[in-house]
Amino acid sequence: MDALNQAVAAAPRAPTSTLYLVDASLYVFRAWHSMPDDFRGADGAPTNAVHGFARFLLELLDRARPQHIAVAFDEALDSCFRNAIYPAYKANREPAPEALKQQFVHCRELCAALGLSVLSHREYEADDLIGSACMSARAHRFRSVIVSADKDLSQLLGDHDEQWDFARGQRWGADGVPARHGVEARQMADYLALTGDAVDNIPGVPGVGAKTAAALLAHFGSLDALLERIDEVPYLRLRGAASCAARLREHRDLALLCRQLSTVACDVALGDADTHFVRRSAAPARLHALCERVRFGPLTRRRLYGAAGLEFNPGT
């Protein structure tokens, strides 16, 4: 019996709570591109992205009913630590227009007014904040549900975690990553180091495509093992194996740099981590002021007040 008790004590304990981690920028940009630009705030500035983001947020809160939730925003648009080590990182993207930048401010304010924890940092991206929150929560027996379609975030999935592509209504755990990307969740950063990521302007190893990268990682397990055993690559049943080995030797340092760029940082200090991102009470005055600035209509205001647990008076 003692041995059994010791084995049970040593076994990983199942999570007892769920933390929702929202990749806000994805949904703000989606709203910016999909909502008509005739929504205007009290100052006449566009508010279409705020309206679209509010609809998304209301649907999420209604469906998930989260008790623990954090919403991560990208503040490090050109000051991320990745830009310091590779200036071309995301250099292929057009800067966000001023009209959208102001709407990001409103979206953050909306989350705060509803009692949701807001994460942003000048040196780290939303992915890094989500990764750090996920790892911190896991240590306190939380499972994480990452609300995002971003493939980079799949590397964070542990045994009990999920990723939720909210727009498509698709959810998957670590065991669902191979069917989507051809590699294990733990191999995603190594995979992107080999293939590159055009969205983030990460070059990868020239000539190494998705199928080749997946085959290499299936055989060697990791980028480190692959680079240590490059001499074995020409003998693999892989089309162009010899030339692939030559490219890996030539671009070894580039592969390691690309992995550094594609790896989500999970050690960012988060001020609210000790509270487990408990959803707090709403701030009625802040919510009312935001509704006035953004000029939300009566239906949206009613839904926002309902989500905040407040009574809605159409006359206010």
Domains of the chain plus CATH, in order, are: 14-177+265-307 (3.40.50.1010), 181-262 (1.10.150.20)
Tokens of 116: 């949701």
| Residues 147, 21 contacting (CB under 8 angstroms) | yes
pLDDT for the residue 6: 47
pLDDT for the residue 8: 36
Tokens of 295: 């000029």
pLDDT for the residue 9: 43
Q: What is the pLDDT of residues 133-187, one digit of tens each?
A: 999 999 999 999 999 999 999 999 999 999 999 999 999 999 999 999 999 999 9
| Residues 189, 179 contacting (CB under 8 angstroms) | no
pLDDT for the residue 97: 87
| Residues 116, 70 contacting (CB under 8 angstroms) | yes
pLDDT for the residue 10: 43
| Residues 314, 298 contacting (CB under 8 angstroms) | yes
| Residues 152, 192 contacting (CB under 8 angstroms) | yes
Residues 6+ apart with CB under 8 A from 199: none
pLDDT for the residue 272: 63
Q: What is the bridge-based pairing of β-strands 69-72 and 117-119?
A: parallel
Give me the average pLDDT of each 10-residue run along the chain (316 residues). Answer: 42 79 96 93 96 98 97 83 94 87 95 96 95 94 96 96 96 97 97 96 96 97 98 94 97 98 95 80 96 96 94 74
CA distance 269 to 82: 17
Tokens 């999920």, located at residue: 162
pLDDT for the residue 251: 98
| Residues 290, 110 contacting (CB under 8 angstroms) | yes
pTM, entire model: 0.92
pLDDT for the residue 75: 82
pLDDT for the residue 161: 97
